[in-house]
């Protein structure tokens, strides 16, 4: 059964009619995602455990005459961006570059005759580590596919086009986790994704657990530069260890001797985080919330101390939430880091009181993404 349409779809449809003066031909949607565990391992060929969200990006579309696209974003006061998809996209991680970049690269996989009017409306918080940019790219890709009436594209090539947009136009050397989770996943179902083979399997959480996403309120800054530097450190560590990627290092045999101090910390994070992700998927399958909680805490400490991609305020909030949860479950910062969102997994009957407690203390409203 397909999930109910997102409220973002009706917003996009209505805003399209208001902006362009007629109804759209269709609306495409792509969710955001939260990563339960396994951060900064996707570009090291590792294992990740993301879960698509019900929130995401809707793109209302209608075919137009001529080659040009006109895109408007409801969240930016309907500002219009008109472009020829065969012209080079502007550089940068703003929505213009992502939408134009997607339209340019989709030309290689979808034969669209003419242009498109697009209206973008989303309900994902931006800069919160919930993948609003991959969500935008995949939604635009789906709109182009629907408009071009080409045979549906499988999740993997669509995800790879969206990743190429980030690399070539946004300047972010990201991995493939976000795009694969968004293109292939089902909201509310976690997926264990092997970022080397791109094979994945659904991991069903016990219905008596809840997954909450909490906004730390710490805005991420200078993220792209720091992200790309981390990736370079990991690749350099792999070369010095004589492996194709850090995925190939067995945690039991990890010997950081050839590495500089920073590289050694980054590599240790990646090697053990991949192992934790594998163990977390097993803990979920076994219904062992205490073990899962321990792994979430270890993962947070590793992002903080070894990968150095956390933030003191987020560390404080994660520690407070972990104290509140106790042994049955746990919390960690999720996504690229340097601020953003916190994910917490705990017994469902306690989730409401945690959410209430945090709101009473002045934190943003918690989002229940599972149960």
Q: Tell me: does residue 336 bind ligand GLA (CB under 6 A).
A: yes
Answer yes or no: 178 catalytic: yes
Binding of ligand GLA at residue 185 (CB under 6 A)? no
- Helix (H, G, I), strand (E, B), or coil: what is residue 110? coil
- Applying CB under 6 A, the span of 21-29, 170-178, 205-213, 242-250 interacting with ligand GLA comes to 170-178
| Tokens, residue 76 | 């930016």
Binding to ligand GLA by residue 343, rule CB under 6 A? Answer: no
Check residue 306 for interaction with ligand GLA (CB under 6 A): no
Apex 238 CA angle, 221 and 168, nearest 5 = 45
Q: What is the distance in angstroms between the CA of the first residue and the CA of the last residue of the chain?
A: 18
Q: Closer CB to ligand GLA, residue 116 or residue 170? A: 170
* Alpha-carbon distances, residue 185 vs 121, 160, 181, 201 (angstroms): 21, 15, 5, 10
Residue number, 141 or 175, with CB nearest to ligand GLA: 175
Dist CA 115 CA 137 (whole Å): 17
**In the complex with ligand GLA, which residue's Cβ is closer, 49 or 153?**
49
State the Cα–Cα distance between residues 313 and 134, nearest whole angstrom: 26
Tell me: does residue 142 bind ligand GLA (CB under 6 A). Answer: no
Which pair of tokens denotes residue 29? 């949607």
Residue 42 within binding range of ligand GLA, rule CB under 6 A: yes
174 binds ligand GLA (CB under 6 A): yes
CB 91: neighbour CB atoms within 10 A?
A: 12
Q: Which of 30, 49, 128, 177 binds ligand GLA (CB under 6 A)?
A: 177
Total binding residues toward ligand GLA, as defined by CB under 6 A? 12
Q: Which stretch binds ligand GLA (CB under 6 A): 11-19, 154-162, 171-179, 267-275?
A: 171-179
Q: How far apart are CA 86 and CA 107, in angstroms?
A: 8
Output 115 or 335, the one with its CB closest to ligand GLA.
335
Q: Kindly report the CA angle at 50 between 225 and 271, in degrees rounded to 5?
A: 65
Tell me which of 39, 45, 117, 178 is the catalytic residue.
Answer: 178
**Rule CB under 6 A: which residues touch ligand GLA?**
35, 39-40, 42-43, 131, 174-175, 177-178, 335-336
Q: Which residues are part of the catalytic machinery?
A: 178
């Amino acid at each position: 059964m397909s999930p109910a349409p997102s409220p973002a779809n009706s917003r996009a449809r209505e805003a399209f009619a208001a902006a362009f003066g007629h109804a759209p031909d269709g609306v495409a949607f792509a969710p955001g995602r939260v990563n339960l565990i396994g951060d900064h391992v996707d570009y090291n060929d590792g294992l990740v455990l993301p879960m698509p969200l019900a929130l995401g990006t809707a793109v209302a579309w209608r075919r137009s005459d001529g080659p040009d696209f006109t895109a408007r974003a409801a969240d930016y006061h309907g500002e219009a961006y008109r472009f020829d998809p065969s012209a080079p996209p502007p550089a940068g991680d703003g929505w213009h570059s992502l939408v134009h970049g997607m339209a340019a690269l989709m030309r290689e996989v979808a034969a669209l005759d003419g242009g498109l009017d697009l209206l973008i409306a989303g309900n994902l918080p931006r800069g919160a580590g919930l993948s609003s940019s991959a969500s935008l790219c995949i939604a635009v890709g789906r709109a182009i596919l629907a408009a071009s009436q080409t045979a549906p594209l499988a999740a993997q090539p669509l995800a790879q086009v969206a990743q190429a947009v980030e690399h070539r136009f946004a300047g972010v050397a990201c991995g493939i986790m976000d795009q694969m989770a968004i293109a292939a996943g089902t909201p509310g179902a976690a997926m264990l994704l092997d970022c080397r083979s791109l094979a994945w399997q659904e991991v069903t959480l016990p219905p008596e657990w809840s997954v909450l996403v909490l906004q730390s309120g710490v805005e991420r800054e200078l993220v792209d530069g720091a992200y790309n530097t981390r990736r370079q450190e990991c690749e350099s560590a792999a070369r010095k260890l004589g492996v194709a990627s850090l995925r190939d290092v067995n945690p039991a045999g990890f010997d950081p001797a050839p590495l500089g101090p920073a590289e050694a910390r980054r590599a240790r994070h990646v090697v053990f985080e991949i192992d934790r992700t594998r163990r977390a998927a097993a803990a979920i399958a076994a219904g062992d919330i205490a073990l899962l909680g321990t792994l979430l805490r270890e993962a947070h400490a590793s992002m903080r101390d070894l990968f150095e991609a956390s933030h003191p305020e987020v560390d404080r909030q994660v520690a407070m939430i972990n104290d509140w949860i106790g042994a049955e479950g746990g919390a960690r910062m999720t996504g690229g880091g340097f601020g953003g969102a916190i994910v917490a997994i705990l017994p469902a009957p306690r989730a409401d009181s945690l959410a209430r407690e945090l709101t009473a203390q002045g934190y943003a409203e918690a989002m229940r993404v599972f149960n």
